[in-house]
Amino acid sequence: MCRLQALHRALLPLVLIPALCCPGAPRAQYFELPDLASSADTVMTQGAEARLGKAFMQQVRERLPVLDDPLLTGYIESLGRSLVAAAPDATGRRFRFFLIDEPVVNAFAGPGGYIGVYAGLVLAAQTESELAAVIAHEIAHVTQRHLMRGFEDQSRLSVPATALLVAAAILGAQVSGDAGMAAIAGIQAAAIQHRINFTRENEKEADRIGISTLVRAEHDPFAMAGFFERLSRAGQIHDSAAPEFLRTHPVTANRIAEALERAESYGARQRPDSLRFHLTRARLRERGYDRAEQAVAHFRATLREGRHRNAIAERYGYALALTRARDYRRAEAELGALLAARPSQPEFIVLEAELAQRLGRSDEALGVLSQTLSLSPNDWVIGTVRARLLLEQGRAAQALEALEDLVRLRPDSVMLYDLLERAAIKSGDRAATHRYRAERLYLLGDLEPAIRQLEIALRQRDIPYHDAAQIQARLDMLREEEREQRERDDPLG
């Protein structure tokens, strides 16, 4: 069965209530991801929470397919940032939004402000405000410190050990390949999950603040209640048993009523969905098919029958499917109409460049992107696509230079450091290869291997003095972090 068929099977019943639900609801085949909650507000400093968040994210990347598509990531980050800007108590907090390439109708918040959104949730949301409602709810859990109030009993554990258990509790996954360790971790994670489940008070608070955030961000305040009600109806029809510690409470009639009451206090504020919302959904839907011909058939049928919410986005999905099917003539025809209507739309500009690349017009492909960058030099999405095309064309040195500029804008991007490592390998720069591999490993939470890579980088011959000085300074910084980490983990030393 193709991925999209599986996705449709997951989306139609909408049996998996998102992470914004209270703990304890019946769920279907996909794991529900509970958040963390307890009582005290000063259990963990923000610095410690950031370290735990990085370790947690390492577990996420090991267990879930985090999307590294610049256009998709750019959209979810943009929506997330707009909600953070409108959220009470969000000033000074750092959030990281990312997409997971699985047909699960859910989202979750982890330590350190990491908020994951499943592709299935984006496709299940009927409006952009519904998607925003879920994300606003998750943001509220972070700003109100619901996430970090359940760690009193874990304060004696190291950050990596705590992250393993928290990931097991949130993700509902085994945390070790070793059967004995996995069994132990599973028991501990179940106990943690039982302790840190959101209370109903936490959920009510997150609902209240989430709706307030929706209003401030000029989204529909009724979207949360509407999504609740639709999911609740689906859950009543499609019930499924699950292990007790992986269940969450259903959305009750009282909770829907309370969300409606809050929304009514603000009044109706209808907002048209952005084109980017629809384009993102079309891009996700197209990539959900295993075979290109299936995607082509889907979009051809929906366009012919008018079964779509936005005609421009549906044609974009069709053009993407045709491109994957190597029907470049028809893809260019579809894209030409889209560009005529929206010549500055990033999704269309990227597809224009990728089509030119596929047709062997490499200079034209780069020119399309360079023209956009001349107007918006800090556009990291277009810049990343251009660097990828440079790598495909064998222009590794140019790609390396472009990526080094981009990473200054996004120093925490695993995606960019992965591209930097590849560019350095292809350009034959061994010191840079180890240097950027070290940064990628560091961002993934692998501190000791990152240190080893920097040490190897310094042993390479003919390193320019300035580069060697930078690598040495970074190595000193990571060694100091490693020393501090060891002291925290074993204060008696």
Query: Tens digit of pLDDT for each residue in 104-126?
Result: 888 888 888 999 999 989 998 99
Give the residue ranges of the annotated binding site for Zn(2+).
137, 141, 203
Which residue is associated with the tokens 């979009």?
A: 299
Distance CA 120, CA 126 (A): 12
Element housing 143 (H / E): helix 128-143
Q: Is the pLDDT of residue 176 over 80?
A: no
pLDDT value for 91 = 86
pLDDT value for 53 = 84
Q: Which range, of 89-103, 165-179, 407-421, averages the lowest pLDDT? A: 165-179
Distance CA 420, CA 425 (A): 9
Active site residue 239: no
CA neighbours within 13 Å on the CB side: how many for 328?
A: 12
Q: Is the pLDDT of residue 455 over 60?
A: yes
Active site residue 448: no
Query: Tens digit of pLDDT for each residue in 429-439?
Result: 999 999 999 99
Give the residue ranges of the annotated binding site.
137, 141, 203
pLDDT value for 242 = 29
Q: Is the pLDDT of residue 11 over 90?
A: no
Look up the pTM and report it: 0.84
Position 453, amino acid: Q
pLDDT value for 164 = 64
Handedness of CA 137, 140, 266, 249 (dihedral sign): positive
pLDDT band at 236 (very low <50, low <70, confident <90, very high): low
Annotated catalytic residue within 128, 207, 332, 347: 207
* Of 337, 281, 62, 33, the residue nearest 176 (C-alpha): 62
Q: Is the pLDDT of residue 174 over 50?
A: no
Share of the chain above pLDDT 90, in %: 59
Annotated catalytic residue within 32, 69, 138, 439: 138
Distance CA 104, CA 127 (A): 17
Pairing of strands 96-100, 114-118: parallel
Angle at which helices 380-392 and 396-409 pack, to 10 degrees?
160
| Cα distances (Å, whole numbers) of residue 104 to 64, 189, 203 | 11, 22, 21
Instruction: Give phi and psi for 200, each to the nearest 5.
Output: -60, -30
Instruction: Give phi and psi for 96, each to the nearest 5.
Output: -130, 120
DSSP assignment, residue 66? B
451, 482 in Cβ contact below 8 A? yes
Residues 216-228, mean pLDDT to the nearest whole number: 93
* Of 422, 430, 421, 431, the residue nearest 469 (C-alpha): 431
Q: Is the pLDDT of residue 130 over 50?
A: yes
As a whole number, the mean pLDDT across the chain is 82
Helix residue spans in 22-114 (DSSP H):
46-63, 70-86
The number of beta carbons lying within 10 Å of the beta carbon of residue 108 is 25
pLDDT band at 482 (very low <50, low <70, confident <90, very high): very high
pLDDT value for 47 = 76
Domain boundaries, the chain: 3-266, 277-359, 429-493
Distance CA 488, CA 493 (A): 9
pLDDT band at 350 (very low <50, low <70, confident <90, very high): very high
pLDDT value for 51 = 80
pLDDT value for 445 = 82
Q: Is the pLDDT of residue 159 over 60?
A: yes
CB under 8 Å to 459, separation ≥6 — which residues? none
pLDDT value for 244 = 26
Q: Is the pLDDT of residue 42 over 90?
A: no
90, 104 in Cβ contact below 8 A? no
pLDDT band at 184 (very low <50, low <70, confident <90, very high): very low
Highest mean pLDDT of the ranges 35-39, 44-48, 263-267: 263-267
Residues 305-317, mean pLDDT to the nearest whole number: 97
The number of beta carbons lying within 10 Å of the beta carbon of residue 390 is 25
pLDDT band at 71 (very low <50, low <70, confident <90, very high): very high
pLDDT value for 268 = 82
pLDDT value for 237 = 44
Residues 242-265, mean pLDDT to the nearest whole number: 65
Q: Which range, of 123-137, 183-197, 298-312, 445-459, averages the lowest pLDDT? A: 183-197
145, 40 in Cβ contact below 8 A? no
Q: Which range, of 185-189, 250-254, 330-334, 378-382, averages the lowest pLDDT? A: 185-189
pLDDT band at 96 (very low <50, low <70, confident <90, very high): very high
